[in-house]
Amino acid sequence: MKALGLIAQDRVELVEPPTPPVDQGLVGIKTLRTGICATDREIISSGFVRPPPGEAYIILGHEMLGEVVEVGQGVSNFSRGDLVVGTVRRGCGKCLSCLNQRSDMCFTGEFKERGVRGLHGYGSEYAVEKPEHLVKVPAELRDVAVLTEPLSISVKAVETALTVQERLKFDGKYPPHAKVLIAGHGPIGTLAAFILSLRDFELYVTGIMEESDAQVQLLKKLGAQYITNRGTHLKDCATELGGFFIIIEAIGHSPIAYELENYLGYNGVLVQTGITLGSSEIHLDSDKAMFRRVDKNQVIVGMVNSNIHHFRKAVGYLKEFKEKYGNLLNQVITHRYPLKDFRQALSNEEKNRVKIVIDFLS
């Protein structure tokens, strides 16, 4: 079978590993699509290549949609023809989180991740997986279900913010029309906007797009207001609005991720989701920063990865988005490539790109 192998820094090749056997207790999956994201680009360009022990490459691909084509002995909850999405992280097997299906919150750091760290990904024509790491997807979501993994990250980001802000629920409700800012309109930011559009928040998105760009138009259809992050525009808006109740950072550029702290209001929470492997530095006025945070009960929290519960919630949201917004979600997938054009998929730098997908069937 063909697979996307990351061999060394900036070196991805189509490799031909043997097709894995569908042993007892496993499910055999034909990969339909795999999504490409900033994580893939970071590990390719940074040289942070971590193949499974003893292997010369790691198969990329942690975002996927597949179809069950074979079911191993002893598997009763999946059948041939089921559409499935696989989760990414495999827990350490030791800590309380990992022993309770919450490997995204591992305490030891000894986890592995398919397509990222120590385990082959789903970027191959065929993959096998244990049923407990798979989520079924209804057939009517086939066109958008490759978004399940990135959406699961947005689910966790929103959940993290709302969990912190439980401290500000009155009669079981968050303050009405509280202002929420999403920084970044890539997949995580855009999908977080979809989720938050279903709630009673005043929704803002900031980024570097022009008002006329298709992505901004999409965000406006969700009821979001767009603030261009040029000059002092964002700062002025934040001042005028009295700061934000929740900010979700989905840019992956640390100087901006820190700047966002300035735009929190009283009791605000900033959730940072971007992974940065660079070496940017900023000057920090630590007294002012600490005073502001303490004086205004502000919280800054980072989060990474997602667990199977977030994946299940994500599938539920995909259904809900489809019911409410029709095919709007399809616009999040801006580029599709056949497997043979994987280099173009990985190097696509178009300004309007959101989710890039490799289609294994075309």
In the complex, the residues that contact Zn ion under the rule CB under 5 A are 37, 39, 63, 91-92, 95, 98, 106, 108
Distance in Å, CB of 199 to Zn ion, minimum = 24
Cα–Cα distance for residue pair 329/190, rounded to 1 Å: 10
Cβ proximity to Zn ion, 98 vs 147, nearer residue: 98
Distance in Å, CB of 258 to Zn ion, minimum = 23
Cβ proximity to Zn ion, 148 vs 229, nearer residue: 148
Side-chain half-sphere CA neighbours of 343 within 13 A: 5
SS3 label, residue 67: strand
Cβ proximity to Zn ion, 132 vs 210, nearer residue: 132
Decide: 75 and 133 in contact? Cβ < 8 Å.
no
Cβ proximity to Zn ion, 122 vs 244, nearer residue: 122
The C-alpha torsion from 45 through 50 and 51 to 53, rounded to 10°, is: 160
Q: Burial letters for 274-301: b for 16+ Cβ neighbours within 10 Å, e otherwise? A: beeeeeeeeeeeeeeeeeebeeeebbbe
Distance in Å, CB of 233 to Zn ion, minimum = 29
And the tokens for 313? 């919630």
Distance in Å, CB of 278 to Zn ion, minimum = 18
Cβ proximity to Zn ion, 272 vs 298, nearer residue: 272
Decide: 33 and 62 in contact? Cβ < 8 Å.
no
Distance in Å, CB of 75 to Zn ion, minimum = 25
